[in-house]
Amino acid sequence: MKNFKFILILIFGFLSSSCNLDEDPIFLDETLYDTPQSASAALDGIYQELTNYNTLERRIFVVNGFSGLFVAARGGDNINSSHNSQIVSLKPTYDGDSESMWGGLYGAIAQTNSAIKSITVVDNPSTKDELLFSDIAGHAYFVRAWSYFSLVRLFGDIPLWLELADSENLNKSKSTAKEVYAQVISDAKNAASLLNGASGNGYPKRYAANMLLAKVYMTLATNPDLREGSLTEMDYWQMAYTEAMKVYGIYTLVPNYSSLFTDSNENSTESIFELQISQDAANSQMGRNFTPPNYKASQAYGYLRVHADVYDQHVNTYPGDPRIDATYLSEYANANTGDIIKVYPADATRANFKIANPYFFKFAEKDKTHSNQFNNQNHIIYRYGELLIMLAEISNELQNGQQLGYVTELLDRVGKVPHAGYLGSKENFRDAIMMEYRFELIGEGEDSHNNRRRGFDYFLKNTINKHNNNPGFNANVDLTLNTTKSEVMGLPIPLKEVNTNELIN
């Protein structure tokens, strides 16, 4: 009977022990937006989405590859590689890079939707915390606007998520590009009113939202299908001017152009919107992907080279321009063997594809002894140099007489003056300023958009045919850019989205 009692005690002990079936995971919940510290970390969560490989590096590869100004040295360094024969020669197909970029940008959008839903913003914030929450909400609107603006310009009609997906709401049909632009404008305006600088150094201020708005208005000015109601082209140029002028004078150009692309001059006076990259954060392999092979000690791929004719045009337009050395690289010593490597123009033979075009150097790791695949160089998305070009372009359209001043201000830094092209007609000025984007900003992220912003005919004439018909064109080493209108103006919605979205056929 002793055993029996013993077992009875066991049964009793067992049945009376509580069997707690509630879960206790090591997660946080949406209350993280309630306290300043964790809400700031959630803000970094948003910007971190913009620096991940898909969003930053793939985006740079896609917008440059699809601009008509570059060749790819990636995935087979030859003229027939799939990159070169597809997206880079403007015959886009379902490619993995734009698919990943799509996912990356929408990933950032989801984080902004989460923040917009959960963060509490009061009218007229005054306390330190209220100001911070307002600023964080402003960043969420800003990043959402910037992401949709990036997507809509490449893909056209796209799903417009303004809320978090949930188990009952997983699919979204396409909104028209016009609806997306309207949302971008609304978000950018919200951002401009909410951003107050409370998050501190390293984050964009409200001027970044103004600059974004100016860019949107410029885009709509030359795309009548996207304009709202009775607003005219000139209305949009005027609205763009107003927004751009809110930024004018707030920032200044750094004296040394090439210092923009080093890690010693980050978050400079010229920087309006900059992503924070740290080797210790392991958040960017730009220095691995875009450094010419063997320029630095460790593995580097030199994903992109610039068309030789684009280089030539820059040199011919601005001989001795210090921007040239900061942008292109054609001769360097192999960091491992010391051998001199030369491509065009240092080796002008253009004997084979690999040496026929100069490397794109802005995002290269400049430290030749650098041993890691991650590096420190921040990525500037908006800078004052671009704003000056925008103001010049807008002013030319408005013919307000200020246009040459902004160009002069920009070129002064590199010891140049506006060339003759600026001195002719409005059309001449327009062509010159559109080319100035290229000289000043090539590869930084807007080439695809700037080249297409004025429509197919302008793109065909000033980018595609200019390359295909350039006197040095050599079919053995130069890509022939596609000229079919229906193919060159945008990217197809990525296959993964088409395959999974129940509302997109």
- C-alpha–C-alpha distance, residues 66 and 448, integer Å: 6
Q: Considering beta carbons, is residue 94 or 456 the nearer one to other proteins? A: 94
Residue 9 found at the interface with other proteins (CB under 8 A): no
Q: In the window 412-471, what residues touch other proteins (CB under 8 A)?
A: none
- C-alpha–C-alpha distance, residues 251 and 259, integer Å: 16
Nearest distance in Å: CB 342, other proteins: 6
- C-alpha–C-alpha distance, residues 445 and 269, integer Å: 20
Nearest distance in Å: CB 145, other proteins: 16
Q: Considering beta carbons, is residue 183 or 403 the nearer one to other proteins? A: 183
Nearest distance in Å: CB 231, other proteins: 29
Q: In the window 248-287, what residues touch other proteins (CB under 8 A)?
A: 263, 266-267, 275-283
Beta bridge partners of 379: 275
Quick check: 469 and 481 in contact, CB under 8 A?
A: no
Q: What is the DSSP string of 244-272?
A: HHHHTTTS---S-GGGGGSTTSTT-TTEE
Residue 27 found at the interface with other proteins (CB under 8 A): yes
Q: In the window 113-142, what residues touch other proteins (CB under 8 A)?
A: 113-114
Residue 23 found at the interface with other proteins (CB under 8 A): yes
Q: Considering beta carbons, is residue 269 or 349 the nearer one to other proteins? A: 349
Find tokens 């033979």 and name the residue: 349
- C-alpha–C-alpha distance, residues 494 and 313, integer Å: 34
Beta bridge partners of 271: 383
- C-alpha–C-alpha distance, residues 93 and 312, integer Å: 30
Closest residue by Cα to residue 104 from 139, 54, 47 = 54
- Of 16, 80, 124, 486, the residue at the interface with other proteins (CB under 8 A) is 80
What's 132-149 look like in SS3?
Answer: HHHHHHHHHHHHHHHHHH
- C-alpha–C-alpha distance, residues 219 and 216, integer Å: 5
Residue 49 found at the interface with other proteins (CB under 8 A): yes
Interface map 376-415 toward other proteins (x if CB under 8 A) = x-x-------------------------------------
DSSP H or E stretch at residue 60: helix 53-65
Token code pair at residue 160: 């417009």
- C-alpha–C-alpha distance, residues 151 and 450, integer Å: 14
Q: In the window 51-70, what residues touch other proteins (CB under 8 A)?
A: 51-53
Beta bridge partners of 158: 175
Q: Which stretch binds other proteins (CB under 8 A): 15-23, 250-258, 314-322, 426-434?
A: 15-23
Q: Which stretch binds other proteins (CB under 8 A): 88-96, 188-196, 224-232, 424-432?
A: 88-96
Q: Considering beta carbons, is residue 158 or 434 the nearer one to other proteins? A: 158
- Of 373, 428, 470, 480, the residue at the interface with other proteins (CB under 8 A) is 373
**SS3 state of residue 475:** coil
Prior bond of 492 cis (ω within 30°): no
Q: Considering beta carbons, is residue 94 or 473 the nearer one to other proteins? A: 94
- Of 288, 305, 413, 430, the residue at the interface with other proteins (CB under 8 A) is 288
Token code pair at residue 326: 């900061």
Nearest distance in Å: CB 81, other proteins: 8
Token code pair at residue 452: 């297409």
Quick check: 296 and 365 in contact, CB under 8 A?
A: yes
Q: Considering beta carbons, is residue 302 or 418 the nearer one to other proteins? A: 302
Q: Considering beta carbons, is residue 29 or 225 the nearer one to other proteins? A: 29
Quick check: 224 and 233 in contact, CB under 8 A?
A: yes
Nearest distance in Å: CB 312, other proteins: 20
Closest residue by Cα to residue 135 from 148, 120, 147, 150 = 120
- Of 121, 162, 164, 404, the residue at the interface with other proteins (CB under 8 A) is 164
DSSP H or E stretch at residue 175: strand 174-175
Q: Considering beta carbons, is residue 139 or 430 the nearer one to other proteins? A: 139
Residue 368 found at the interface with other proteins (CB under 8 A): no
Residue 333 found at the interface with other proteins (CB under 8 A): no
- Of 68, 159, 358, 385, the residue at the interface with other proteins (CB under 8 A) is 159
Residue type, 383: R
Contacts of residues 122-127 at CB distance under 8 Å and 24 or more positions apart, as own/partner, are 125/196
- Of 21, 319, 420, 471, the residue at the interface with other proteins (CB under 8 A) is 21
Nearest distance in Å: CB 70, other proteins: 17
Q: Considering beta carbons, is residue 232 or 476 the nearer one to other proteins? A: 476
Q: In the window 200-239, what residues touch other proteins (CB under 8 A)?
A: 201-202
- How far apart, in Å, are the Cα atoms of 69 and each of 58, 310, 320, 479? 17, 7, 21, 10
Interface map 479-498 toward other proteins (x if CB under 8 A) = ---------------xxxxx
Nearest distance in Å: CB 19, other proteins: 4
The dihedral built from the CA positions of residue 312, 317, 322 and 327, taken in this order, carries a sign that is negative
Counting residues that bind other proteins (by CB under 8 A) gives 110
Q: In the window 341-360, what residues touch other proteins (CB under 8 A)?
A: 342, 347, 349, 351-353
Residue 183 found at the interface with other proteins (CB under 8 A): no
Residue 20 found at the interface with other proteins (CB under 8 A): yes
Residue 199 found at the interface with other proteins (CB under 8 A): no
